[in-house]
Amino acid sequence: MKPGIKITSLSKKFGDIKAVDGISLDVKHNTIFGLIGPDGAGKTTTMRILCSLMKPDSGTVEIGGLDAGTQSDEIIKHLGYMPQRFSLYGDLTVLENMKFYSDIYEIPRDVREKKIEYLLKFSNLKDHSYKLADQLSGGMKQKLALSCNLIHTPDFLLLDEPTIGVDPVARREFWKILFNLRDEGTTIFISTPYMDEAERCDEIGLMDKGMIIARDTPSNIIESFQKHIICIYSDNNYKARDLAIKQEYVEDAYLLGEELHIVVSDYEGARTKLMEDLKSIDVEIKTMEKIRPSLEDVFVNIIKSQESGGGI
């Protein structure tokens, strides 16, 4: 099997802040690995180190068997990187941007036309090739940035929160492209704050305060969660939450959209007490049921358990 991405004891500080705190990861070749975490978790710093745009204070990175510290020039030939901000030229058309990147990566002229034609079709941008980049929607801009980073057919693709500010339909289209790339042999390392995107990855690392606090397949991380989630719809979820969070039998309570999620260890006992306690403050329960925890439920509780010194 070809080597993937290997991160060993990676650390980076900015003053007294540990942006990356001794993380180690082994990302398999030809997979999608998701680095998941809130703003400030250290995801972008990790990405910039992987791309050799920033030197770590300690630790090593290997990409495709090459050392990022000493062989970065060789790695770049096999690497595509999309930063958070749109980094193409707004006053150039879609086609002109792609030709410009062809020049940067020194794509032979007898190859580039076919490659550009393929990528325009691949990213559904063929009918928009004449438009200026600044005229594109957020989703189209991201697909253009991705296409430009694929012009040299990289083996490794690093994407730093590529779908921030992109509408749900465009996000789904973007992920279809990523799945196709993986199936064609590309290893993808992506950071995202979106838990629904995390569940699409082959493997994920949950990151908080510069550390990897959990790492496995999304399904295994969810299955390892030993507590119960009670989902409540009521006529006043805010009032219900404020009461629930004060009860000894409730470990956590938070709102997710129109749902109130309550974390408990003893489902049957907690359900009975909740019905009584909510009735006593005149909260009308419309539905109350135990649900399978989502990755977002698990992540929220892992972080809170870390802060309190407990386990998941």
Contact 250, 209 (CB under 8 A): no
Distances (CA, A) of 132 to 86, 91, 104, 121: 14, 6, 20, 18
Q: Specify whether 128 is located in the same domain as 175.
A: yes
Q: Specify whether 175 is located in the same domain as 89.
A: yes
Domain final residue, candidates 221, 248, 282: 221
User: 310 pLDDT exceeds 60?
Assistant: no
Q: Specify whether 240 is located in the same domain as 119.
A: no
Q: Which of 53, 39, 45 is nearest to 23 (CA)?
A: 45
* pLDDT at 194 (0 to 100): 87
Least confident of 96-105, 165-174, 229-238, 278-287: 165-174
Q: Specify whether 200 is located in the same domain as 245.
A: no
User: 10 pLDDT exceeds 50?
Assistant: yes
CATH of the domain at 287: 3.30.70.980
> What does the pLDDT look like over 58-78, one tens digit per residue?
999 999 999 998 998 899 889
> What does the pLDDT look like over 15-45, one tens digit per residue?
999 999 999 999 999 999 999 988 889 999 9
What span, in angstroms and rounded, lies between the C-alpha atoms of 258 and 202? Answer: 29
Q: Is 290 strand, coil or helix? A: strand
* pLDDT at 30 (0 to 100): 93
143 vs 32, which has greater pLDDT?
32
Give a yes or no: residue 305 inside a domain: no
Q: Specify whether 135 is located in the same domain as 237.
A: no
User: 309 pLDDT exceeds 90?
Assistant: no
Contact 52, 202 (CB under 8 A): no
* pLDDT at 170 (0 to 100): 81
Give a yes or no: residue 297 inside a domain: no
Q: Specify whether 103 is located in the same domain as 247.
A: no
Q: Specify whether 38 is located in the same domain as 165.
A: yes
User: 311 pLDDT exceeds 80?
Assistant: no
Q: Specify whether 143 is located in the same domain as 281.
A: no
Give a yes or no: residue 307 inside a domain: no
> What does the pLDDT look like over 242-291, one tens digit per residue?
999 999 999 999 998 899 999 999 999 999 999 999 999 999 999 999 99
User: 102 pLDDT exceeds 50?
Assistant: yes
Number of folded domains in the chain? Answer: 2
Please compute the mean of the pLDDT values over residues 90-101 and round it to a whole number. 92
Q: Specify whether 155 is located in the same domain as 243.
A: no
Mean pLDDT, the chain, integer: 91
Q: Specify whether 175 is located in the same domain as 266.
A: no
User: 142 pLDDT exceeds 90?
Assistant: no
Give a yes or no: residue 29 inside a domain: yes
What span, in angstroms and rounded, lies between the C-alpha atoms of 197 and 192? Answer: 7
User: 302 pLDDT exceeds 90?
Assistant: no
* pLDDT at 164 (0 to 100): 83
Split at pLDDT 50, 70, 90, the class of 86 is: low
> What does the pLDDT look like over 158-175, one tens digit per residue?
999 988 877 888 888 889
pTM over 0.95: no
Percent of the chain whose predicted confidence (pLDDT) is above 70: 98
What span, in angstroms and rounded, lies between the C-alpha atoms of 75 and 90? Answer: 28
Q: Which of 203, 276, 261, 181 is nearest to 229 (CA)?
A: 261
Buried b (16+ CB within 10 A) or exposed e, 278-309: beeeebeeeebeeeebbbbbbbbbbbebbeee
Structural domain span for residue 250: 226-292
User: 308 pLDDT exceeds 80?
Assistant: no
CATH of the domain at 96: 3.40.50.300
The strand order across the sheet containing 17-27 reads 17-27, 5-14, 58-63, 66-67
Q: Specify whether 113 is located in the same domain as 169.
A: yes
* pLDDT at 312 (0 to 100): 47
Q: Specify whether 175 is located in the same domain as 265.
A: no
